Homo-oligomer: A and B are copies of this chain.
Amino acid sequence: MAGHGPYSCGLDAAVDLVGGKWKALILWELHTGPRRFAELRRGLPGVSEKMLIQQLRELEADELVHREVYRQVPPKVEYSLTDFGVSLNQALLPLGDWGERHMARITTNRCR
Contacts and interface: CB of A to CB of B under 8 A. Distances in A.
Interface of A: 3-4, 6-19, 21, 24-25, 28, 44-46, 61-63, 84, 87-88, 90-103, 105-107, 109-110, 112
25 contacts: A3-B110, A4-B21, A9-B25, A9-B96, A9-B100, A10-B96, A10-B97, A11-B28, A13-B103, A13-B106, A14-B95, A14-B99, A15-B18, A16-B106, A16-B110, A19-B19, A61-B112, A62-B109, A84-B102, A88-B98, A90-B94, A91-B98, A93-B94, A94-B94, A95-B95
Contacts of A12: 24-25, 28, 99
Copies per assembly: 2
